Structure formats: C-alpha cells, structure tokens
Structure 1
Amino acid sequence: MCPTYNRAPYHLHLLNESVYWFLRQDYPGPRELVILNDCVDQTLACDAPDVRVVNWHERIPTLGEKRNRLAELSEGDVLLPWDDDDVSLPHRVRQAVDRLGEYEYWNPRQTWYEERGRLIRDHHHQVCHNASAYRRGALRYEAVSGPEDALADAWAASHLRVSPHGLAAPREWSYVYRWGVSDCHISGTSDMQASYDRPRKIVSGTYTIRPTMYRDYANEAAIGAG
C-alpha cells in the first residue's frame, strides 16, 4: 500500500525506485502494489505488472485516512505499508508473510537506515511500522498525519495477536529507511499535520512511473550484513 503525493517531476525517482524494488520481490505467490496519488493536478501512470495506480479526485485530509483508503482499495489478505521514499529488499514480502504466519500483526523492529548516503546498522531510529505487515481488517489508522504509524503500532501491540518472530541478524533485515532523500519528510517536522497540509509548488501534468534501480541496496546490505 503505497501513498504518494507530488513527487513528480523532481522526486519521481523515489517512486521509480520504490516500484522497482517491489518488482524484485521473490515472494512466490500473487501480489499487488497499489499506489494512491491524491495530488489532483498530477496524473500518474505505470504499466509494470502487478502495479495499480489510483489517481484520487481530491486531497485526502490526513495520512492516516489515506492509509485506510489504501487498505480498502487493496485486495490482498496480508497488507504491507510501502512508503514511496524507502526501499524494500527482495525478500521483504516473503519474509513478512512467513513471520506473520497465523498472527494478525508483525513488526520486524529492525531495519537498515540510510542517512547522507550511508547505509547504517541502526534499528533504534523509528517505530518500524512502515516495515510491518498485518491481516486485512485487523487494523485501522487514526485520522492524523505523521504519527499515524506510531499510533497504529501501539494499538496493534495491545489489541492484536502480534507475531513473536523477530529477526536474528542484519542479514535478515529487509527494509531500508531513507532519511533526507527528498524535500518533504513529514516525520522530521515538529508539526506533522501542518507539514502535510502545507501548500507546495505543483507541476501539473501526466507522469509515467518507470521502475529503475539507482543504487544496489540489496548488494550493499548483503555486504554490510556480512
């Protein structure tokens, strides 16, 4: 479930890369990436297999509501947040389905962290909900922007059957949380809702998502985990 807004044209490469790593997933079953774009002056298109773009007709008021809308649009039994500026390594979906098992919620609690171009072994920087997985119908987000992931994770911990299956070592980490790769990172602002609402220059038009690898994160993570 990939929420996006106003990445084109200057930061469309982030979305290109996010879709590229979805296509690299080694999960053997059916899968789908749903991209929800609510920048009404921009139309996104993508002809990659198993990728569906939904161009919404109005700005959705909060990121939490946007994630709920994505869950409604999705058709899978297992739902994964898929942020448009992060990277999911090829084993992420397979790993999430396996570790979730018969439970309702799974959070790996550990991810790679990129800052200023460096890939860092750091799993204390965030809630890690954006690297999680949960069963359809198990979770709804609060109507807020920014801390909706932390609120969802806290709610899941107290209301859902949470998988106890963690990650043994960095070689199993499947997510790269990227910091500072764009001019808009809501979680890095003091007023997250204001950041979500803040008007930004929009270059109107129709843009095509072209899945592209700009950096081989899978190889770098394998070397770093060794």
Structure 2
Amino acid sequence: MINLEEKHVINLIENFYGLKINQSQVILLSSSFAKSYKIINPIATIVVKVFSEEYKTKKDALSELKLLLELSSNNVKVIIPKSGVNRDFILELNQIQNGYFAIAYEYFEGEVIPKLNKVQSFNLGVNLANFHKFSINPNLELDKTEYTIGYLFDDSYKLIRPFLGDSQKEYLNKLRDKIQLQLELINLEINNENYGICHGDYISRNSLKKKKKEKKNKNKKKKIFIFFQKVYLLL
C-alpha cells in the first residue's frame, strides 16, 4: 500500500496540487479500503484519499466527483474536490505502485457531535432531501460500473473456481442461481437512479461542529456540517 509519509510520494502530491515542496505535514486520518491523509501545507490544507483500482475504479471515482461538483453548483453543502495545477482531479500513482490513484478534497475543521438535537436532526433531513433531489437530475450522466450478476458474481467466480473442490463448486453454482433469481424477483434496478442517490452512513458521530473565531478571539460555535465519506451537509 502507498504511504504518503514517504518523501518521494508527498513531493509528487505537492507538485500535482501546487503546494510548497518539502513543507507538508502528513497526518493519517483513516485506513481501511482507502487511506485518508490530512496534508498541512503553507499553501493549503487538504485531505488526500489513496485508492486501489481493485477497490474503486477510476470510472466510478470520476462519476462521484462529477456528482459532488453538480451538488455544489446547486448550493448543496458537500465536500469540494480539489483539482491539480493541470485541472485534473485524479492523480495517477502508477509510478509509485501500479493500480493506485489519489483524489484530494478541501479540508473542513470541526468537532464531533456526540448526539444531534431536534433542530440539527431536522436540518440534516432537509439537506439530505436536497442531496437526494439534485442527484436525480436527468441531465447528469454518471458513467458508473454496472452492477449486474456478471459483475457481482461471475467475474470473481471465474478467478476462484480453479482453486475450489467439487463440493464447493456445486455450492457456488447454487449461490449464483439464487442471486440471479433474487435480482429478477424484486426487479432490482441497481443502475437506475430514478429514485436518487442516498447515503447510508447516517449516524451522529459522522457530524462535525465548526467553530468560528470572533474579533475578540473568543470561539463561538457557528455552523454545523454533517460529513460522510464524500459528503458534507450544512446545518
């Protein structure tokens, strides 16, 4: 896995996003399917996420970026993707490790809210409704991976089948048939966005409270953002 704390890697990030060279502090924020880093530089503070194409394709990543920009243009308070000096949003990292790429976003400073009150919960619902509303724009063409039975099962099955015994092959064949039947029975339109896009990470600890400094150097709690993996919502 790529480590942004290595000098040659962070220098690549600094060059791509127009940051001052050798003047970045790198902080690991999270490490799961994709690593997230906070990059503190005299020019800007950004969040950089490093993806493997085995986890997320560049096609899907570009589709998500397009959605974020569309939501932002409609005044929905979402995290803003940051383009590089060449205006590209995706930084290829193949020269470091094949099959990896990075995306940067503006950084939002805030404190975690342990529990939302009634007003915050109501405003969250309003903003999620706006997120949903603008995600069903018929003019917004998102070129995403089609989650067909072939993609969900067949492609993986072809790779692992040579390593399975006869009893396991029989079980997987039955499993595939069940998945196909389930898709047909419920008429699941996974790729149809007629009903908008919803986000399931809907819990209070994924909320941030922003502090705004006043002229008298006193901290006053001013705004609240709800953030998810890729989305900020203003309360």
Provide the TM-score with structure 1 as the length reference: 0.26
> TM (normalized to structure 2)?
0.25
| The structure with more helix, counted as a fraction of residues | 2
Higher relative contact order (CA 8 A, sep 6+): 1
